[in-house]
Amino acid sequence: MPQFESRFVVDAGIEEVAEFHFRPGILKTLTPPLMVMQVHQFEPLADGSVAEFTMWMGPIPVYWKAVHSDVGPTGFTDTQTEGPMKTWVHRHEFVAVNDQQTEVRDTISYEHHGGIKGLWSRILFPKPALRMLFAIRARITRRNVESK
């Protein structure tokens, strides 16, 4: 199964970085400026909590539902249960570099469907688009956490 990884360092302690990622409304905060995110349901992060939303990629709505697991002070996992991908398991981890810096690690194991449905998800989620998405998320995270 293919994997995508992203890592970046934030000039803030691990508690501050984790707190930012556990905030209500974080999904909209981390959404790139040109993408519209309609959140249908986003329960506080806990094992079994659900995130349900539609991302508007231009005029195209992309529905997504995920369930959280392995939720703890240093990260969590979200697993797509409904959406465009055959498989999508995204692990978010926060690792202390030192008292004033934290590395944010995102690891996604994913698989596209076969046939036309798979072509659609490959167009929407190629690796360059994922790299851009996570570069934007890194910038948003730094802007929100380092300025505190």
**pLDDT over threshold 90, residue 7:** yes
Which domains does the chain show, CATH number per domain?
Answer: 3-31+72-145 (3.30.530.20)
Model confidence, pTM: 0.93
How do residues 77-88 score in pLDDT, each as one tens digit?
999 999 999 999
Name residue 5's beta-bridge partners: 107
Percent composition of the chain: helix, strand, coil (DSSP 3-state, to 5) = 30, 45, 25
% of the chain surpassing 90 pLDDT = 86
Angle between helices 127-145 and 14-21 (to 10 degrees): 120
